[in-house]
Structure 1
Amino acid sequence: MNDGNEVLSQDPTALWGEIARLRATVARLERQVGELDRLAHHDPLVPLPNRRGFERQLAGLIARLERYGDASALLFIDVDGLKIVNDSFGHDAGDAALIHVAELLIGGVRQSDTVARFGGDEFAILLERVDLDQATETAARLTDRIAGTSFSYDGTAIPLSAAIGIAEIRAGDTPEAVLARADRAMYEQKAAA
């Protein structure tokens, strides 16, 4: 009695057909894995990495910093008053404000920098090859950019502002340690305002 494998080994046409079927299956599975990776590492509202995707980028940056010694920094951004926007105008207005801020952040940094949305009203940016003075200048520029643009929803102007904390990234850092320093610095900025 012949099983299917014997038939395939004796029929080259059937073998090529099976190879084509397997290649198509592998290609479909690779697309699904890519989509799952995108869903796991990107924000559903704005075209940015999410916290998990950002932490992966941060870990890579720390490894490069340890190898090459380039100075780098992390900016942690909290959009002020988003709860009031949501409560006053609805969550669609809050989403529109987040999209607006994301566009401002993307447009306000270099293409080589990584902007991510952490969730809620928080964003983070990796600034590669910058010292603390340059990171401070970028943070000030982004703060002014957010506060200085007009955002309106359904014809109503809504003022936006943000607090930005800065943490230098050091050799031997962990992603968690850098994020904790940047988060503390952001809260210090909020308290000082």
Structure 2
Amino acid sequence: MTDERPMIDDDPLVLRAEIARLRATVARLERQVGELDRLAHHDALVPVPNRRGFERQLLALIDRAERYGDCGALLFVDVDGLKMVNDSFGHEAGDAALIHVAELLTGGVRQSDCVARFGGDEFAVLLERIDLGQATETALRLTDRIADSSFTYDGSAIPLSAAIGIAEIRPGDTPAAVLARADQAMYAQKAAA
């Protein structure tokens, strides 16, 4: 019968070197996992979370609403006329407009709020500890902020505007239900304009 145990070197210097190598490998793998998580939850174009990252934040706020009675609202933002910007000035101009809008939205809310790019020309803003009246004021302020901004691309002034739908977050909500209400409110806003 043969002994199938792995051979372990008893030399303390060899053991220390092996431990240091394993620690370096673990640290490298942890960095890679962190980078993969960032890539999975952040938008590739604008420096904000993507839909997946946003839904993670939304689910956490819904949990707090159920558990602690926290309040909040979701703003669903649709940038108007981005297709025209892409068609008239090129996709680089459209990308620059999206980055500009993301900066306006991020700069127009509290640091504790979450601005995310949902895809295409849509953004979502998660407002924590805010009631429907305050959310409405924030949406109006953001709409004005976008419309009043001076966006230029390659020397051309390009007007920007957005429609914003609002959904209050309620205990028992699901992310899909909140998003559907905000999306519906955004389309009602577009129809009223």
Deviation at 1:7, TM superposition (A): 3.7
Which residue of the partner structure matches residue 176 of structure 2? 176
TM-score between both structures, scaled by the size of structure 2: 0.96
Question: What residue identity is the alignment partner of 1:68?
Answer: Y
For 2:56 and 2:94, the matched residues in 1 are separated by 27
For 1:3 and 1:28, the matched residues in 2 are separated by 31
Question: What residue identity is the alignment partner of 1:178?
Answer: V
Question: Any idea what SS the aligned residue of 1:6 has?
Answer: coil
Question: What residue identity is the alignment partner of 1:33?
Answer: V
The alignment yields a C-alpha RMSD, in angstroms, of 1.4
Task: Describe how 1:80-99 pairs up with structure 2 within 5 A.
Answer: 80-99=80-99
Question: What residue identity is the alignment partner of 2:7?
Answer: E
Question: What residue identity is the alignment partner of 1:142?
Answer: L
> Unaligned 5+ residue runs, structure 2?
none
For 1:26 and 1:6, the matched residues in 2 are separated by 22
For 2:159 and 2:11, the matched residues in 1 are separated by 72
For 1:112 and 1:80, the matched residues in 2 are separated by 26
Deviation at 1:5, TM superposition (A): 3.9
Q: Output one character per residue of 1:133-153: Cα deviation in whole Å (capped at 9) or x when no partner.
A: 000000000000000111111
Deviation at 1:43, TM superposition (A): 0.3
> Unaligned 5+ residue runs, structure 1?
none
For 1:5 and 1:96, the matched residues in 2 are separated by 58
Q: Output one character per residue of 1:81-133: Cα deviation in whole Å (capped at 9) or x when no partner.
A: 00000000000000010010000000100000000001100000000001000
For 2:11 and 2:191, the matched residues in 1 are separated by 76
Question: What residue identity is the alignment partner of 1:37?
Answer: D
TM-score between both structures, scaled by the size of structure 1: 0.96
Question: What residue identity is the alignment partner of 2:172?
Answer: G
Question: Any idea what SS the aligned residue of 2:7 has?
Answer: helix
1:117 pairs with 2:117? yes
For 1:7 and 1:177, the matched residues in 2 are separated by 58
For 1:188 and 1:40, the matched residues in 2 are separated by 32
Which residue of the partner structure matches residue 6 of structure 1? 7
For 2:109 and 2:122, the matched residues in 1 are separated by 17
Question: Any idea what SS the aligned residue of 1:43 has?
Answer: coil
Which residue of the partner structure matches residue 74 of structure 1? 74
1:49 pairs with 2:57? no
Task: Describe how 1:26-65 pairs up with structure 2 within 5 A.
Answer: 26-65=26-65
- The percent identity for this pair of structures is 80
Task: Describe how 1:159-174 pairs up with structure 2 within 5 A.
Answer: 159-174=159-174
Q: Output one character per residue of 1:33-92: Cα deviation in whole Å (capped at 9) or x when no partner.
A: 000000000001111000000000000111111111121100000000000000000000
Which residue of the partner structure matches residue 19 of structure 2? 19
For 1:3 and 1:29, the matched residues in 2 are separated by 30
Change (3 A) 1:104 1:121: same
- Say how many residue pairs are matched: 192
